[in-house]
């Protein structure tokens, strides 16, 4: 069974840093692009970042560019999101999602991890 | 990276059909056949319902269908059922290796 499990969320002060992890199982991480998507409770989904299969190509939403870094360790089957200079508006549930066809759609999602900046 | 435009809410009675629109621009929806749709029930992660405008993943009911005309994509749900009540989000490739989501539509089954 394909599974994505996020971890690392919690409470952090404005200006602080946090690293989210997404452990995957049931498929070979190295064959899929991956995305991070966030959602403020009660609000809509917002795309945050994408990484290609070998981690060389990464892209970000304008709102997090220069502050967030997406990375992956295919050997450890884990995706990461390093978040620096956090702001109150970064408060959200963060989901990792698989893009199995490397075609900008997310076919499997994790359950999310909540980040509160306060 | 402006969000795609969706109606805030739609509703329908069981058995009816409803359509949710998703309007973008010539820089996203209008330029690429890379529109996807997600269903999200409260407190649960989103689920992929449609990809590449009109393709259904394995396991998704054929009551769900997608289409696109110009800068507007649409999700149609036929034979509405109570379990279809959820939030629905569209997404599109937006160029420069980025994605954009719509604001979401709350579907109420009357």
Q: What is the 3-state secondary structure (H, E, C) of A71-112?
A: EEEHHHCEEEEEECCCCHHHCEEEEEEEECCCCCCCCEECCC
Q: Angle at the Cα of A6 (from A18 to A113), degrees rounded to 5?
A: 65
A82, A86, A92, A97 alpha-carbon torsion, rounded to 10°? -20
Q: Which residue of B has its CA nearest to A95?
A: B45
Q: What share of chain B is helix, strand, coil (3-state, %, to 5)?
A: 5, 50, 50
What is the mean pLDDT of each successive set of 10 residues along chain B, which is 110 residues long? 93 97 96 97 97 97 98 98 98 95 98
Preferred mutation among A36, A104, A112 to probe B, highest tally of B CBs within 10 A: A104
Q: CA A54 from chain center: how many Å?
A: 16
Determine the pLDDT at residue A18: 98
Residues of chain A scoring pLDDT < 70: none
Determine the pLDDT at residue A23: 98
**Cβ neighbours of residue A8 closer than 8 Å, sequence gap 6 or more:** A18, A19, A20, A21, A113
Which residues of B, range 2-61, sit inside 8 Å of A by Cβ?
3, 34, 36, 38, 40, 45-48, 51-52, 57
Determine the pLDDT at residue A117: 98
């Amino acid at each position: 069974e394909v599974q994505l499990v996020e971890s690392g969320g919690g409470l952090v002060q404005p200006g602080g840093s946090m690293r989210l992890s997404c452990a995957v199982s049931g498929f070979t991480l190295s064959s899929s692009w991956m995305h991070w998507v966030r959602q403020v409770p009660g609000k809509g989904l917002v795309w945050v970042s994408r990484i290609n299969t070998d981690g060389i190509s990464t892209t970000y939403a304008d709102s997090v560019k220069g502050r967030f870094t997406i990375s992956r360790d295919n050997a450890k089957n884990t995706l990461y999101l390093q978040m620096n200079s956090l702001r109150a508006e970064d408060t959200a549930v963060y989901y990792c999602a698989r893009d199995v066809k490397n075609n900008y759609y997310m076919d499997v999602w994790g359950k999310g991890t909540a980040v509160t900046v306060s | 990276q402006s969000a795609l435009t969706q109606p805030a809410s739609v509703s329908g009675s069981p058995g009816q059909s409803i359509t949710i629109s998703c309007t973008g621009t010539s820089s996203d929806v209008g330029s690429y056949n890379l529109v996807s749709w997600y269903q999200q029930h409260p407190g649960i992660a989103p689920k992929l319902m449609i990809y590449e405008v009109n393709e259904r993943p394995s396991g998704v009911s054929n009551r769900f269908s997608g289409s696109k005309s110009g800068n507007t994509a649409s999700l149609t749900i036929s034979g509405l059922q109570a379990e279809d009540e959820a939030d629905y989000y569209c997404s599109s490739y937006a160029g420069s290796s980025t994605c954009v989501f719509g604001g979401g539509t709350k579907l109420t089954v009357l």
